[in-house]
Amino acid sequence: MSRVQVSSHPLVAHHVVALRDPATKPPEFRRTVGQITRLLAVEATTTVPTKDVCVPTPLGEAKGRRIAERIAIVPILRAGLGMAEGLIELIPDAEVWHIGLYRDETTLRPQEYYNKLPANCGASMAIVVDPMLATGGSAIRTCEILHAAGIPRIIFLALIAAPQGVERLAEAMPHVAIHVAALDEGLNDVGFIVPGLGDAGDRQFGTSARH
């Protein structure tokens, strides 16, 4: 677990409780996903390179810094969409690339069905977002796609992770920085995180009979 950064921020812990609660309805669930994502992003991007700038103010000029990298936000469809929205508020100039994967519930292996990377993948950093890092299959496949496209630096953000998924991702992609809001006990016999929060996609978009 040495390669994963589990947030110790009290606000993150507070909001995770709301995500786990079955009584939390989709609108509140989506808001909370965005809040946690923004907090995680602040922790995960402390080493992003910046350049010195000088900007005018009403009373003169001020020295400052601006991000010096071309950043791509990569949500794993569909559950990653809510996290991407939270990130865009922080980094409005970032590009958004979509990768669609679903997990075969028999083999638990990721199946790719959508890939919307640009013709010129010239970003110097990609932030991959997916609420749940369970078996690690979708995370690994997404990072493989980005690595093959020439992205030199990848950060992976998840809300809830299982030790099995963290270990698999860290072993397969040792240069990927992993940041999560909570690290749970493990996986059940069908590959869902326990205690987890249920299906993050269904709970965000109201597609489950039980929210």
- Which positions ≥6 away from 170 have C-beta within 8 Å? 3, 4, 176, 178
Known catalytic residues are 103, 107, 199, 202
Contact of 73 with 127, CB cutoff 8 Å: yes
Give residue 211's identity as a one-letter amino acid code: H
Q: What is the DSSP letter of 202?
A: H
Structure-block tokens of residue 96: 């958004």
What is the rounded CA–CA span in Å between residue 28 and residue 194? 22
Residue 6 parent element (H or E): strand 4-6
Q: What is the DSSP letter of 104?
A: -
What is the rounded CA–CA span in Å between residue 191 and residue 173? 21
Beta bridge partner(s), residue 187: 193
Peptide bond into 153 cis (omega under 30): no
Query: Residue 52: exposed, middle, or buried by beta-carbon count in 10 A (0-12, 13-18, 19+)?
Result: exposed
What is the rounded CA–CA span in Å between residue 170 and residue 5? 12
